[in-house]
Amino acid sequence: MSARPPLPPFTAETAAQKARLAEDAWNSRDPERVSLAYTEDSRWRNRAEFIQGRPAIIGLLSRKWARELDYRLIKEVWTFHGNRIAVRFAYEWHDDSGHWYRSHGNEQWEFDEQGLMRRREASINDVPIRAEDRKFHWPLGRRPDDHPGLTDLGL
């Protein structure tokens, strides 16, 4: 497997780049694409689910995006050290009944020498919101560079 820069050890700049690359991939809502940022045997805790390996990641993300419609995500670095990055995030989505949610969470990431994530720990809480209270209003896909981040949005 080829390297996935930026590589550890991370600086403030490279940690922010890594978080933005992850955000961009997740906003593609393409489970196969997203899975390539993780080691073959990557271990995840996502909410109450514990999985390992790319096929399991693809399965989890496929189920997620079949349920979480019009998904838009913003990630922000909380801290970093060596080969680890902690991020906070929020994303907005609606279910098949049209009920909107803003999901808030934290992730801890650990990377191998090639810049692949070998461990992901995610805690996430869903908050119902009214459609008119949404803050993420860009077309589906990558968040535009001029769209405010979490801190600027007061989240």
Residue with tokens 């906070």, as numbered in its chain:
88
CATH of domain 12-133: 3.10.450.50
Q: Residue 125: what pLDDT?
A: 98
Task: Give the other-Cβ count within 10 Å of 101's Cβ.
Answer: 17
Q: Which two tokens stand for residue 11?
A: 């600086």
Q: Residue 135: what pLDDT?
A: 98
Rounded average pLDDT per 10-residue block, the chain, 155 residues: 92 98 98 98 97 98 98 98 98 98 98 98 98 97 98 97
Q: Residue 1: what pLDDT?
A: 63
Domain boundaries, the chain: 12-133
Classify 105 as helix, strand or coil. strand
Give φ, ψ of 132 to 5 degrees.
Answer: -75, -10
| Contact in structure between 103 and 125 (CB atoms under 8 Å) | yes
| Contact in structure between 80 and 142 (CB atoms under 8 Å) | no
Q: Which two tokens stand for residue 76?
A: 């922000």
Q: Residue 2: what pLDDT?
A: 84
The C-alpha atoms of residue 16 and residue 12 are separated, in whole angstroms, by 6
Best CA proximity match to 137, nearest among 100, 97, 92: 92
Query: If you ran DSSP here, which 8-state letter would residue 74 be given?
Result: E
**Helix and strand counts by DSSP (H, E) for the chain:** 3, 6
Q: Return the exposure string of 59-97: e unless at least 16 CB atoms fall within 10 Å of the residue's CB, then b.
A: ebbeebbeebeebbbbbbbeebeebbbbbbbbbbbbeee
Residue 154: CB partners within 8 Å, gap ≥ 6? none
Strands (E) located in 10-147: 38-46, 49-52, 69-81, 84-94, 100-111, 117-129
